[in-house]
Amino acid sequence: MYAVVRNFTGAPTLGDELKRRSKDVESAISTVPGFLTYFLLKTSDGIASFTVCESQASCDESTKRATAWLRENMPQLKVGPPQIITGEVAIKFATQKSTIA
Residue 100 within a domain: no
Q: How many domains does the chain have?
A: 1
Furthest CA-CA distance within the chain: 39
pTM value is 0.86
Range of the structural domain that residue 67 is part of:
2-88
Other C-beta atoms closer than 10 Å to the C-beta of 2 total 20
CATH number at residue 26: 3.30.70.100
pLDDT of residue 88: 97
Q: Per-residue pLDDT tens for 32-42?
A: 999 999 999 99
pLDDT of residue 101: 60
Half-sphere exposure of residue 48: CA atoms within 13 angstroms, side-chain side: 12
Residue 93 within a domain: no
Identify the segments of the chain with pLDDT beneath 50.
none
Residue 99 within a domain: no
